[in-house]
Amino acid sequence: MSTQVHDNVKQYYGSRLESTCDLQTSAACSLPCRPMPKSAIEALNLVHPEVTKRFFGCGLPVPEKLQGCRILDLGSGSGRDCYALSKLVGETGHVTGIDMTEELILVSRKYIPYHQEKFGFEKPNTTFLQGYMEKLTAAGVENDSMDIIVSNCVICLCPDKKTVLREAYKVLKEGGELYYSDMYASNVVPDHLKEDSVLWGEGMGGSLYWRDFISLVQEVGFSTPHLISASHIEVHNCELKKKAGDISYASGTYRLFKLPKKLEMSSGIVTYKGTVPDYPCQLEFDSSHCFKKDVALQVDGEMAAILQCSRFSPDFCIQKYGHLSPFLLADNLGSSVKQCSKTGKAPGGCGET
């Protein structure tokens, strides 16, 4: 089945779809639930129009603090996200895109010199590999080599999602992040819908039931997924909508991390320093954690570990909960309560877990 699915997807995106307008759902039109930073907007506006025309994603996987990072884009398509990210990582960073569809790889490679000149870089900082997400090592991606992996509405097109996630886990460095958008189903998609090539090509046939997604990524070894944003996807084609029946679809962007296996996790008090570029006042880490500058918040052990082991470590003051004196603990939590009183929320609503 895997080979047949891959062939169908190649044909669907390589030949059948000419532009975003050819999609039968609103996936590529889904708007982010929170404003993009100015740097990301500027980077997207510099991407060549032909590259943007053949964009088929369902979100905007652009995490924070990218300068100098090594990024891998799973299912990079025409290269839109890769080129935007290559501007944000700068000349000291590098972005690698991998896609199995020859037609899209040719489009993405065609514009490497264009974007190098557009961004004013002395040499290109993008590479595009033709290969499979299920076989990253075979495609030339080394284990423990990437700071960040992104993907935009492509894992739903893969028949073996567990293998994709395992490969992603292998090539990430410890403390690295998988930050990606995908389509999710409100119920388990039945087998007969998975056999429909158009439903699969649109992401509907292969979408994971969202609860299965959470258990799957944790089984592979990743941290708990943290939801960034989500939006409902409309199915424009009446025939496809009828086939889907009671199943509804949503676009969701999550971030999850590869943490050291023997790391001791302990809840703590964290204080954001305001040092992440574009976020001097507050960092909206996910839909539940908004870190305000100089405001101390209590977080659980896993979140404390994420902030301690990832690229965000220099941007936070982190103290283990059990190691704080009663007086310091009272001062820290007092600051948090004071901040929450300004917003009218309980302490847990300002980013505590």
Query: Angle formed by the axes of helices 80-89 and 112-119, to 10°?
Result: 30
- For the beta carbon of residue 1, count every other beta carbon within 10 angstroms: 9
pLDDT of 227 higher than 60: yes
Say whether pLDDT at 203 is over 90.
Answer: no
Rounded to 5°, angle at Cα 314 from 310 and 319 = 90
Please tell me whether residue 292 adopts helix, strand or coil conformation. Answer: strand
| Residue 238 burial (CB count, 10 A) | 9
Give the per-residue pLDDT at 9.
53
144-183 confidence digits (pLDDT tens): 999 999 999 899 888 899 999 999 999 999 999 999 999 8
DSSP state of 65: -
What pLDDT, on a 0 to 100 scale, did the predictor assign at position 2?
57
**pLDDT over threshold 70, residue 19:** no
Residue 335 has pLDDT above 60, yes or no: no
Q: How far apart are CA 227 and CA 217, in angstroms?
A: 13
In the chain, % of residues over pLDDT 70: 80
Please give the helix or strand (H or E) that residue 39 lies within, else none.
helix 38-45
Distance CA 86, CA 118 (A): 11
**CA–CA distance, 129 with 140 (Å, rounded to integer):** 8
Report the candidate in 112, 114, 201 with the shortest Cα–Cα distance to residue 154: 201
pLDDT, tens digit, 9 for 90 and up, residues 93-150: 999 999 998 888 999 999 999 999 999 999 999 999 999 999 999 999 999 999 999 9
Quick one: pLDDT at residue 265? 83
pLDDT digits (tens, 9 = 90+) for 261-282: 888 888 999 999 999 999 999 9
Q: What pLDDT is attached to residue 144? A: 98
DSSP 240-260: HHHHHTT--EEEEEEEEE---
What is the spatial distance between Cα 311 and Cα 315, in angstroms, rounded to a whole number? 8
Q: What burial class does residue 233 get, using C-beta atoms within 10 Å of its C-beta: 0-12 exposed, 13-18 middle, 19+ buried?
A: buried
pLDDT single digits (tens) 23-79: 445 444 444 556 788 999 999 999 999 998 877 666 678 999 999 999 999 999 899
pLDDT at 241: 87
Residue 7 has pLDDT above 90, yes or no: no
Quick one: pLDDT at residue 4? 64
Instruction: Provide φ and ψ at 24, rounded to 5°.
Output: -95, 5
Nearest 10 degrees: CA dihedral of 321, 326, 327, 329?
A: 20
Please provide the distance, in angstroms rounded to a whole number, between the alpha carbons at the two ends of the chain.
42
At residue 342, does pLDDT exceed 90?
A: no
Mean pLDDT of the chain: 84
What is the mean predicted confidence (pLDDT) over 248-258? 93
Pick from 155, 154, 195: which is nearest to 1 by CA? 195
Distance CA 49, CA 166 (A): 34
pLDDT at 233 over 90: no
- In this structure, which long-range contacts are made by residues 211-214, counting pairs with CB atoms below 8 Å and at least 24 apart in sequence? 212/188, 213/184
State the average pLDDT over residues 233-237.
83
**What pLDDT sits at residue 21?**
47
What pLDDT, on the 0 to 100 scale, is given for residue 347?
Answer: 32
Q: How many CB atoms lie within 10 A of CB 109?
A: 16
Check residue 45 and give its pLDDT.
93
| 3 band by pLDDT with thresholds 50, 70 and 90 | low
* 243-262 CB burial, b ≥16 within 10 A, e <16: bbeebebbbbbbbbbbbeee
pLDDT given at position 8: 61
pLDDT, mean of residues 293-319: 96
